[in-house]
Structure 1
C-alpha cells in the first residue's frame, strides 16, 4: 500500500482550502451583486411611482377622475416597492426567513394584497377607458371624482377578499421549517387565489382592450373622413364638421390620450388658404389613409406594450403557482421561484412608465419636477 508524503498531503489540503475559499468569495460576490441589482430596482420603482403621484397632486391639469385611477395604481405599486421588495431582498440573500412569523404574516399579507390590487387596477383602468371611448358623451357626465373613488375602494376590497382566505389558511397550517411562503394543500385554494388575482382580470383586460382597439379604429376612420371633407367659403378651406366632434377621440380626456395618444397634434387638419383646385381627390384620400394608419399603428403599439408587459411579468409566476400547487411531483428551485416573483414585481416599475409616457401633460409635469429637484 502506497503512503502519500506529508508534504503532498499538505499541498492537497491547502489547494482544497483555497478552492473552498474561492467558492465562498464567488458566492459572496454574487450575493452582493444580486442585492445591489434588486435594491436598484426597488429604488427606481419607488422613484417612478412617487413621481407619478406627485405630478398628479401638484399639476392642476392632471386633476381628472381617470388620473385618480392612475394615482391609485402608482400608490399600490409604491407600497410594493417600499413594503414588499426590501423584505424579499433580505429573504433571498439570507436564503432563510430570519424575521419571525409575525413579520412573515404581515409581509405576505401586504405582498399578496398589493400585487393583486395592482393587477385589478389595470382591469379597472381598462374598463374606464373602454367606457370613455365607446360611450364618450354619456360617460363624460358620469365620470366624476366620486365614481373614481368608488372604483378604487371596490378594487381594494376585492383584493382583500381574494388574498384573505389563503392567508387565513396559511395561519392555521403555519410551520417554522417551511420558511415564509404560502403553500396550498387544496386545489380549491389554488384556483380561487390564482383565478381571482390574475386569470379572470387577464381575460377581462384582453377583451376590453380588444374592444377598445376596434372602437378606436372605427373612430379614426370616421374622424379622418370628417376632417378631410371640406367646403369652400370666401376662398378659405374649412372643415364641414367641427374639429372637435363630440364622438371623436379628441374629446377624450387626457388619460385616453395617454393610453393611445388618440389625438396627435401633428395629424390635425388645419385651416388653410389654398384654393380647392390645389391637390387632387387621390391625394386627400391618401392623406386620410396615412393619418388613420399612423394612429391605428400607434394605438396598436401602445396596447401591445400594456398587454405585453402585463402578460410577460405575471403569467410565468401564476403558471408556476398553478403547476406547483396542483401537481404533487412538480416543483421549482428557489432561484427560479425568486426570479418569477421578481418578474412580477417588475410590473410595478413598468406600470408608471407605460401609463404616463404617452401623455404630453405627464411629460411636462415630470420635466417640471426634475427641474425643481435640480434647483433645490
Structure 2
C-alpha cells in the first residue's frame, strides 16, 4: 500500500506538471502575438503532442504501474499501445522538424525568410504524425507474435523481431542520427558566422589604424569587446545544443536500447521490474522537459508566462 501511494503521488505530480507546462506553452503562443512565428508554431505543435501524451497515455500508464497489472481489457490495451507509440514517436519527430527548421534558418538565412511559411510548418507537422501513424498501426493489423496477448494481466508492445527493428529505428535511431547531423552542422555554421563577424571587425580596426592613432585605440577596445561577445555567443550555442541533445539522449536512449535488445534475447535477459519502470518513465518524462527546454529558456516565452500568471490576458 505504501509503494502504491508513493508511486501514485510521484506519477500524479509528473502528469500534472507535464499537462500544465505544455498547456502554458500553447496558451502563450495563442495569446501573445509576438510569439506567433513559424518557428514557434513547431514548438506549439510539439507542446500539443506532449499534452496528448500527458492526457491520453500517462494516466493509463500510471494506473498500470501502480496496480502492477493491466485491468482495462485487451481492446483498451491495443488502443493504449497505439496511442503511446503514435504520440511519443510524433513528439520525437517534432524535434527533428525543429532541428531541420533551425538548420535551414542558419545555413540559408536570406532565402529561407521567404520559404519559412506556415504551410511549410504544417507540412513538417503532418509528416511527423504520418510517420507516427505508420509506426503505431501495424501491431493492430496483426504484426505481432502470439505470445504478445498470452498474459491478460500484461499490456506490452509487439515483440515481433521485424516490428521491433522497424519501430525502434523509425521512432528513435534514425531521428537521433538526423538530429546529431543537423545540430552538428548548425553549430559549425553558427561558429563560422560568429568568427566571420569578428574577422570583419578586426579588418576594420586595421584599416582605421593606418589612418589615425586615437580612433584605432578605441576600435581595438571595440574589437576585443566583440571578440568576447562572439565567444560568449559560441558558448551559449554549445550549451543550448548540448542541453537539447543531452536531455533527449538521457531520456530516450535507455528505453530504446531495452526495446531493441529484449525481444531478441527473450528469457536469456533479465531486467528488474523497478529498472524497467524507471527507464519507461524516464522516456515519458521527456514530455515534461520539452516545454522547459524549448520555451522556458526563451525570454519571449518567459515574458508571456509572466503575463499569464498575472492574468494580463484575462
Answer whether TM exceeds 0.5 for this pair.
yes
Cα deviations across residues 180-211 of structure 1 (Å, max 9, x unaligned)? Answer: 112413x2211101000000000000000000
Identify which of 206, 222, 227 aligns with 2:180. 206
Which residue of structure 2 aligns with residue 363 of structure 1?
302
Which residue of structure 2 aligns with residue 290 of structure 1?
228
Matched, 1:133 2:72: no
Alignment of 1:161-310 (within 5 A): 161-169=134-142, 173=146, 174-177=149-152, 179-185=154-160, 187-226=161-200, 276=215, 278-279=217-218, 281=220, 283-310=221-248
| Distance 1:194-1:178 versus aligned 2 partners, 3 A rule | farther
TM-score, length basis structure 1: 0.76
| Distance 1:104-1:224 versus aligned 2 partners, 3 A rule | same
Matched, 1:101 2:39: no
The answer to whether the Cα contact below 8 Å between 1:101 and 1:176 also exists between their aligned partners in 2 is no
Which residue of structure 2 aligns with residue 332 of structure 1?
271
Which residue of structure 2 aligns with residue 20 of structure 1?
none
> Partners in 2 of 1:370 and 1:225 — Cα distance?
44
Q: Tell me the CA shift for residue 327 of structure 1.
A: 1.1
> Partners in 1 of 2:172 and 2:65 — Cα distance?
24
Matched, 1:147 2:120: yes
The answer to whether the Cα contact below 8 Å between 2:42 and 2:98 also exists between their aligned partners in 1 is yes
Identify which of 314, 317, 321 aligns with 2:252. 314
Which residue of structure 2 aligns with residue 346 of structure 1?
285
Q: Tell me the CA shift for residue 339 of structure 1.
A: 1.2
- Which protein, 1 or 2, shows the higher relative CO under an 8 Å CA cutoff with sep ≥ 6? 2
Q: Tell me the CA shift for residue 91 of structure 1.
A: 0.6
Q: 5+ residue gaps in structure 1? A: 1-27, 232-236, 238-274
Cα deviations across residues 18-74 of structure 1 (Å, max 9, x unaligned)? Answer: xxxxxxxxxx11221111011000000000000000100111111111111111100
Q: Tell me the CA shift for residue 333 of structure 1.
A: 2.8
> Partners in 2 of 1:345 and 1:112 — Cα distance?
11
> Partners in 2 of 1:277 and 1:337 — Cα distance?
64
Cα deviations across residues 141-181 of structure 1 (Å, max 9, x unaligned)? Answer: 01111111111111101111022223433677433436111
Single out whichever of 68-77 and 162-171 deviates more from structure 2.
162-171
Structure number, greater radius of gyration: 1
Alignment of 1:69-108 (within 5 A): 69-108=42-81
- How big is the alpha-carbon RMSD for the aligned residues of Structure 1 and Structure 2? 2.1
> Partners in 1 of 2:185 and 2:140 — Cα distance?
36
TM-score, length basis structure 2: 0.91
Which residue of structure 2 aligns with residue 117 of structure 1?
90
Q: 5+ residue gaps in structure 2? A: 209-213
Give aligned pairs, total. Answer: 304
> Partners in 2 of 1:227 and 1:128 — Cα distance?
29
Identify which of 292, 297, 311 aligns with 1:372. 311
Structure (1/2) with the larger helix percentage: 2
Q: Tell me the CA shift for residue 121 of structure 1.
A: 0.4
> Partners in 1 of 2:27 and 2:88 — Cα distance?
22
